[in-house]
Structures are given as structure tokens and as C-alpha cells.
Structure 1
């Protein structure tokens, strides 16, 4: 297995979060405007998506170049961003980009559920270096994370279908990452309970 190279934490955070924050800034500046490009009017949301896609591709490639490795979730996210973001731009319809978030979480939940059914904990394979735990701890965490992803998929559908575009952008930019951070903080006792002894 190829060992990922270490990079500075601030650089890693910039590459991972920078595209999303750039999308947020552009959308907030252009959300009440339309711009004519090639004879077609585009909303601020679509313009922000136009910028987000190539920046996301560039930042992911840079992360891969610097670390020598990408997580499966990063690859899946990039593919869905390009496909559904591209559809939103091509068809001038923001719904595809919003649905992309739902699909990402459903795919992750499905993969975690499948790994449990096959008795092969893929989450453990991906994260065991960062969180050394016993197998039972990984099984519990996988169940909880799969349920979280299902909940986030449902929440995304409710937000984009019933609330304003600005609310959805705020939810995607700040709400979803905050929920993920809170999830791992709330599971701190699980990590402690099932942590491997230091000599392992």
C-alpha cells in the first residue's frame, strides 16, 4: 500500500475547503444578479458553480500530487461534482448541483451498509491509521456514520426543496461540515472505549 506523504495542515485544509468557500463567496456576491454569457443568462448560483468545478478539480489534483494519495470519498465526490455540476451549467439548472449532495451521502451510506453486510469494514481500512480501534468499535462507528449519511441526504432534500437558495448554500457551506465535526466529537467516548492499547 502506498504511504501518503504528509503536508502542512493549513495547506491540506486550504485545498479541501478552499473550493467550497470560494463557491460561497461568489454566490453571495452574485446571488441577486444575472450575467449574459454567449447569449444565455446565468444566475449567480450557476456562475459560482462554473468557477467551483475547475477549482475543485485543480485542488484535488494538487492534493493528490502533494500527498500521493486520495481517499475513495474524495474521488467519488470529485466525479459527482464534475458530472452534476457540469449538468447544472450545461442545462442552466441548479437542481442537479443540489441533488449531487444527496447522491454523495446516499452512496456513502450504501457503501458502508454493504461493507457491514459483507463483513468487510471498509471504513476501518480507510481510517484505521487515524483512529486505531478494535473491530467492534469500527462496526458501531460504521452503523452510526451510515445512519448519519442517510439523515444528511434527507436533510439536504428538505432544505433545497423547501427553503431559499441562499439558505441551501449556507447549509452546504457551514451546516454540513459542522454536523460532521459534531458527529466525531460526540463519538469521542466510542473512540476511547474501543481504542487499541498503545503497543498495538
Structure 2
């Protein structure tokens, strides 16, 4: 939104990415330990997942306090983390926390897909003020990003079901975000011709 407060980009990145990195570090620290709480044994992974929830909420609260807003994607992700973190603790089953990533990516793909079926780009509603682009460009980006989210959802399902927890944590922390960021940078570069600039307006 246009009335959002501007903060130091480094601080913003720390608040957005810091919780995930902290989860990774905490997991590495306690992954081989077992914790008994209320007579129930919990693995280091489950404890790290539970600790991740308040860390994420604190980071989001600070971000909201500094900027005056949170994106719908951030709020949705936080809700999913809380919900699946709760299921993980309640059932003492790490699979719930692992499948969270598949569901988040899958829902993003589904939402974008619904918009495409209606001939609309929901990305344009969210990002057009930040990056003005012609409708044709938004539709191309939406189709590609819909496919990318679907591919990430499938990839996560394959990884957590067939690989070790160590491998999943590393891919979840670094692999998926880097892959998504690289994909977006590639898309923004390839769609430069659709961006609306002052020169484009003058030419038209």
C-alpha cells in the first residue's frame, strides 16, 4: 500500500528471512536431542518447529510496527505455520510441519489458477502499484508463477517423503527460496518489454 512506512531494506530482510534461518540454526543445534514434556517425548525437529512459531510472530509484529502493514501472503503464511505447528505438537508428528510447505505453495498455485480461469491476474491486484505492467505481461507472469508454485508443491512432497529430515530442512531453508527468487528475477528480466514506464507512456 502507498501509505506503508519505509524502513531500512536490510532490517526488512532480516525480519522476513531471519525466522527461517533461526529455525535452521536451532534445528542443527538440537536435532539429535530428545525432549520430554508432560511425559511425551519430542524430537529436536518438532521442538525447533514449535520454537519457530513465536519467533515468526515476533518478527511479523516488529515488521508491522515499523511499516504499518503486512502483506496478505505474510499473514496467510503465519496462519499456516501456527496451524500446522499446532498439529505437529498435538499429534507429535513432524509430517504435518513438512507438508505445510506443499499446502502453502499449492494454495498459491490454486489461487492464481482460479484467476487465470476467470481471465484475471490476481498478481496485478497485489503488485501493480509497485511494478506497473501491461495486462498481457501480468497474465504471462501469472501463468508462469502458477506453474512454479505447483512445481514447488510437488517437489516438496517428493522431498519430504523420500529424503531425510536433514535434507528437507536444508532445501526448505535455502533451496526453495533461492529457486523461487531466481525464477522471479528471470521473469522480471524477460518481461521488461511489458513494463509501463514514462518512456512507454510518451511513445503511446
Normalising by the smaller structure, the TM-score range is over 0.9
Q: In the TM superposition, what whole-angstrom CA distance separates every residue of 1:103-151 from its partner, at most 9, and x where no partner exists?
A: 0001100110111222332201111233221110000000000000000
CA distance in 1, matches of 2:170, 2:6: 31
Whether the 8 Å contact between 1:19 and 1:52 is mirrored in structure 2 is yes
Q: Which runs of 5+ in 1 are unaligned?
A: none
CA distance in 2, matches of 1:160, 1:4: 37
Whether the 8 Å contact between 1:137 and 1:190 is mirrored in structure 2 is no
What residue in structure 2 maps to residue 74 of structure 1? 74
What residue in structure 2 maps to residue 185 of structure 1? 185
SS of residue in 2 equivalent to 1:154: helix
Is 2:171 the counterpart of 1:171?
yes
- The count of aligned residue pairs is 200
Is 2:125 the counterpart of 1:125?
yes
Alpha-carbon deviation of 1:98? 0.6
Whether the 8 Å contact between 1:131 and 1:191 is mirrored in structure 2 is no
CA distance in 1, matches of 2:188, 2:110: 24
CA distance in 2, matches of 1:156, 1:8: 33
Whether the 8 Å contact between 2:120 and 2:139 is mirrored in structure 1 is no
Whether the 8 Å contact between 2:15 and 2:59 is mirrored in structure 1 is yes
Is 2:19 the counterpart of 1:19?
yes
Q: State the TM-score, normalized to the length of structure 1.
A: 0.95
Alpha-carbon deviation of 1:2? 5.9
CA distance in 1, matches of 2:189, 2:26: 39
Whether the 8 Å contact between 1:115 and 1:121 is mirrored in structure 2 is yes
What residue in structure 2 maps to residue 51 of structure 1? 51
CA RMSD of aligned residues (A): 1.4
CA distance in 2, matches of 1:181, 1:121: 20
Q: In the TM superposition, what whole-angstrom CA distance separates every residue of 1:2-51 from its partner, at most 9, and x where no partner exists?
A: 62211111111111111101110011111111122222211110110111
User: Bigger shift: 5-14 or 183-192?
Assistant: 183-192
**1:26-105 matches, cutoff 5 A:** 26-105=26-105
Q: In the TM superposition, what whole-angstrom CA distance separates every residue of 1:70-127 from its partner, at most 9, and x where no partner exists?
A: 1111111111000001110121111100111000001100110111222332201111
What residue in structure 1 maps to residue 162 of structure 2? 162
CA distance in 2, matches of 1:22, 1:52: 8
Change beyond 3 A, Cα 1:81–1:36: same
